[in-house]
Amino acid sequence: MLNNRRRHDETKEDVIERLLTETYDPVELEEYLRMFKDYGADFIAVPETALAKGCLQVIASLPSGTAEEVDEYVASTPGVTIEGDDFLAEFGIARIDGGGFHTYRRIPVAVPENLQGLDPVSIDEGIENVRAFVREDREPTPRRNETIALEDLVTDLVDAGASAVTVSHHPSLAKRITA
């Protein structure tokens, strides 16, 4: 039972810190990420930018009917401990379409073998990927703002799994490349 009464040697701030410490019960990274796998997610990734800012967001492809249960679990989780540091846990219910399966600026946690253009990643490898990012205090992958040759772009798109690439130019619109 929590005792929120101030002891004779405590300040108000001491009481608040003690109560937060007594009630804060984060889960370990491995338990947290395996929960997504247990609910049937085959693709799991963690955005680098959010993680670098202290927030563990998870992108997962969940079977229909499980997203709400996962969202409830995440909402009841006060935080996740990674390499001794605490991270805020976030998960948003969203359907991942074909374009959502990528690992650009995302740490791959679980990638099945059948996703074209992506190397498979086991859950154990993925958990270590996240730990290494935190342990090594990495920064998010820089955005690709440089101009590249069209040949290189098409080659990269095909290597990433694009089955067709079209280039179009409309007088009223900017040039577009669709993959």
Tens digit of each residue's pLDDT (9 = 90 or more) over 30-48? 999 999 999 999 999 999 9
Residue 132 has pLDDT above 90, yes or no: yes
Mean pLDDT throughout 120-149? 85
Instruction: Return the pLDDT at 46.
Output: 94
The one-letter amino acid code at 1 reads M
Which one has a higher pLDDT value, 101 or 134? 134
pLDDT, tens digit, 9 for 90 and up, residues 55-97: 899 999 888 888 888 888 888 887 898 998 888 888 766 566 6
Helix (H, G, I), strand (E, B) or coil at 130: helix
Is 109:119 a contact under the CB 8 Å cutoff? no
* Alpha helices in the chain, H assignment, sequence order: 12-23, 29-38, 48-52, 67-75, 123-135, 150-159
